[in-house]
A and B are shown apart, each in its own frame.
Chain A
Amino acid sequence: MSAPADGSPPDGSPVTGPTEEAAEAPKVGVDEWVARHEERRQAHGGLTGAVIQGWDRVPPAGHLAILFAPFVVFGFVANEGNLYRYGLITLIYALLALGLNVVVGFAGLLDLGYIAFFGVGAYAFGIMASGHSGHHLPAELAVPIAVAFTALVGLLLGLTSWRVSGDYLAIVTLFFLQAFVIFVNNANGGPSDWSYPFVGKVDITGGANGLDQIDPLRFFGYSISTTKGYYFYTLISLAVLMAMLFFVNRSRTGRAWRSLREDPLAAEVMSIPVNRLKLLAFVFGAAIAGYCGTIFGSVQSGAFPGDYDVGLLITIYAIAILGGLGSIGGVVIGALIVNGVPELLRSSENARLLFYGALVVGLFLAMRPWYRPVVVIVGTIAFGFVVHGVAGAVWPRGTAGHIQGGARLAGPLEHWVLLPTHPGRIGGWAYFALIAMALVLTLVRGWWRTLLLIPTLYLAAFVWENELVEQVSGATRLILLGALLVVIMNVRPSGIFGTARVEVV
């Protein structure tokens, strides 16, 4: 390589003359054309590309409006139950995930105790405004105080990040969550509680039964008392917070956090006070979580220890990761998927449709060309009928059982899936077999994979109908979340909307 390709002199002084006019459209071989090669290669073609380009042309305020329009509409048309389950809880989770995004996504600090702040906010609010505690501060006082208190707790926990980092920070924060749970479970002035100086035993948190009768949010005399009211309150809070975080991300603090995430040592040498910024991230995240806590506590009219556990932590992490760490809009989509889908799964009928629907869609997304998924689906159906027929003849008890719920699909399914009258242990072995086969599938390629998909899918339907469908609300949901996390990390660590990161090892 000798002189720079755009014709400028070797010492880098600015270019003048004919090349400048000619540089409107980058030429082949010219520096800029080469530099943009990677962009062109990664740009999506066709429909996706058009959508992305259209999206990029809309100003950020437009993004916000587009994202929130469906939520606003939903708020007016949905019934009470749906509004609560699908709407309000999704929004609260999204808000939580947004706060987590600040700590983990912006600043890169692995905080596994984050949910404790959610709890602190709820309990703090409850202590100030509940029938249980006897105080009834109005929300315009109680909420800021609760948030400030939670931020303070965040500050204290953040101090540990000065000495420990990475994996160790994760463990310390996880322990903090455990400590919080133990504390709230026991701080009810009862026999297992401590006795404080001057005041003796005090009921702070109501112990294992929780802090009940929390007041609804009452701002300047106006109470929010309906689900719809809370829904829109939360929606507005979410929109405002997203806007603020958008600005923060582009500010010097946001850049400083990202530098801290990239390379703390280099950041420190580039005039960034790393320790202070770590604290700020913790405080920020804690404040947001605390705010969510005040909403959640008043919506539920209580704060109960069981709500602030590792299961919720995993859920919020799944949302943040799925949406893409560092992506502000992504968390909303993530919340929709992670909360909406299991909620849909609660009714067996919906769940069934969703399960089989997801399988089919997944097949079509994952396998090209188009005839492969068709082969697999047809093959599985045929395989199923054959097996069912044979089993019916050989082992009558294997097919005599009934589908739970199922409505329209029940009939055909009963002739297709093996339904033993007493699933018992077979269900368990089938579960193991399914996991084993799924893992084997990742090891084989090509037509072997297509072929083995058939019995695997049939087995999946078997396990679904006999085991998972019943447990959808509890264990199944977390099983799916756990598997989801593993799969995302292995396949697309940056989530749906995150940008792929480059890491120097």
Chain B
Amino acid sequence: MNWNLFFGELVSGLTLGSIYALIALGYTMVYGILKLLNFAHGDVYMVGAYVAFFVLQWLGGPLNTDVAGWLAIAIMFLVAMLACGMLGVGIERFAYRRLRNAPRIAPLISALGVSIFLQNSALLLWGPNFRDYGTFDLINVKSYRVGANFLISNIQILTIVTSIVLMIVLTLLVSRTRTGKAMRATSFDREAAEMMGISVDGVVSFTFFVGSALAAAAGVMFVILFGQASPLMGFTAGLKGFTAAVVGGIGSIPGAMLGGYLIGLLEAFATGYLPGGSTYANLYVFALLIAMFLLRPSGLLGSPTIQKV
């Protein structure tokens, strides 16, 4: 048993999973409230990654930053999350708001349109190539060794820890605050919530803000981990994030987190162990999705909805 490979893929999977979990959270929150699949969500993640790059450049670049490395990272997070949060609010306001009561295909197509718009705007403005910044130079990347075979780097720890912290904050937000209660109420019955004095527009905007901010955080983490960004990165990541949300049970926040880690681990172990490895890793994720739909359509932690006839 090659423990080196095992632990390597384990850590890799958890790291990737953290990113997918954060993306999945945005999907699941929006779907819970609006029953809408926000195709553009993955591209918000992409924008977050690019914003992180530009902030880094503005701060002087990875090699001679004006501020300390860790502070630079903190600023990257903050700016990206804020900017993408507002982007998400804007997208909702202009592409989805009018379609709240329209047939389901309408907001879906609109979301597709936004996704294509964002992807190609990025292509237009920033070119198709991977932007490669040696963010590795930003922080002194160190690997820690536990035992004989377990290797983990400080940025991987950062990723996993940050995402867990963000998820805890989100859970507290949803379960302990008034806004969170409003969010839950709106996801159960929008009309009734409105009649109880909850501003549905406000709740929806807030949900989009939070979801998009989380996606941005995921984008920043990707940049730190891999030092790259490309305009089309949001598409596949978005699909996997959505798969994670569905696998965990769409509408369920703990489900999205669980789903994210599952997908991340699946991808990592598939790359490491299964034939065809990295080329076909996406196919294995796809197969998991199909299996989930066939066996347990409501996902692992979701509750099956019964429709009154």
Contact = CB atoms under 8 A, between A and B. Distances in A.
Interface of A: 104, 108, 110, 160, 163-164, 166-168, 170-172, 174-176, 178-179, 182, 186, 192-194, 265, 310-311, 314, 317, 321, 325, 427-428, 431, 439, 442, 467-468, 471, 474-476, 478-479, 481-486, 489-490, 493, 501, 503, 505
Contacts of B105: 104, 108, 110, 325
B74 interface: no
B110 A317 contact: no
B103 A489 contact: no
Given A428-B125, A490-B98, A493-B103, A171 B116 contact: no
B90 A439 contact: yes
B2 interface: no
Interface in B138-169: none
Given A182-B283, A489-B110, 17 more contacts: A110-B105, A167-B35, A168-B293, A170-B108, A171-B246, A178-B286, A182-B282, A186-B279, A193-B276, A194-B276, A442-B94, A471-B124, A479-B124, A481-B113, A486-B94, A489-B107, A493-B102
A505 B114 contact: no
A485 B99 contact: no
A475 B117 CA distance: 9
Contacts of A164: 293, 297
B90 A489 contact: no
A171 B114 CA distance: 17
Contacts of A194: 275-276
B101 A505 contact: yes
B114 A482 contact: yes
Contacts of B297: 163-164, 168
Range of interface residues on B (Cβ < 8 Å): 35 or more
21 contacts: A160-B293, A164-B297, A167-B108, A171-B242, A171-B289, A172-B293, A178-B282, A179-B283, A182-B283, A314-B112, A431-B124, A474-B120, A475-B124, A478-B117, A482-B116, A485-B112, A485-B116, A489-B95, A489-B107, A493-B103, A493-B106
Interface in B236-265: 236, 239, 242-243, 246
Interface string B261-297: 0000000000000011001101100100110011001
B290 to A, nearest CB: 7
Contact of A482 (B98, B104, B113): B113
B279 A168 contact: no
B68 interface: no
A501 B124 contact: no
Contacts of B246: 168, 171
Interface of B: 31, 35-37, 90, 93-95, 98-99, 101-110, 112-121, 123-125, 235-236, 239, 242-243, 246, 275-276, 279-280, 282-283, 286, 289-290, 293-294, 297, 309
Residue among A170, A311, A484 with most chain B CB within 10 A:
A170
Contacts of B283: 179, 182
A174 B239 contact: yes
A108 B293 CA distance: 20
Contact of B124 (A192, A321, A439, A468): A468
A484 B106 CA distance: 13
A486 B114 contact: yes
A182 B123 contact: no
A314 B114 CA distance: 11
Contacts of A317: 109, 112
Contacts of A186: 276, 279-280
Nearest to B295: A163
Contact of A475 (B104, B123, B286): B123
Given A160-B293, A439-B94, A314 B116 contact: yes
Nearest to A476: B124
Contact of A489 (B36, B93, B113, B236): B113
A104 to B, nearest CB: 7
Contact of B95 (A170, A325, A490): A490
B106 A489 contact: yes
A395 B71 CA distance: 38
Given A192-B279, A475-B120, A167 B115 contact: no
Nearest to A193: B276
A314 B121 CA distance: 15
A486 B121 contact: no
A35 B175 CA distance: 52
A483 B293 contact: no
Nearest to B110: A489
Contacts of A110: 105, 108
Contact of A182 (B242, B279, B289): B279
B289 A490 contact: no
A479 B120 contact: yes
B47 to A, nearest CB: 11
A489 to B, nearest CB: 4
Given A160-B293, A175-B239, A192-B276, A478 B120 contact: yes
A202 to B, nearest CB: 15
A168 B114 CA distance: 19
A317 B108 CA distance: 12
A176 B287 CA distance: 10
A321 B113 CA distance: 12
Given A475-B123, A486-B114, A310 B104 contact: no
Nearest to A164: B293
Given A167-B37, A175-B239, A428-B125, A483 B109 contact: no
Contacts of B95: 486, 489-490
Given A182-B279, A467-B124, A489-B110, A167 B104 contact: yes
Contacts of A176: 286
Would you list the 5 A-B pairs with minimal beta carbon distance, nearest first?
A: A485-B113, A482-B117, A482-B116, A486-B113, A489-B110
Contacts of A503: 101-103
A489 B109 contact: yes
A166 B124 CA distance: 33
A194 B281 CA distance: 13
A178 B110 CA distance: 21
B309 A265 contact: yes
Nearest to A428: B125
B36 to A, nearest CB: 8
A172 B285 CA distance: 11
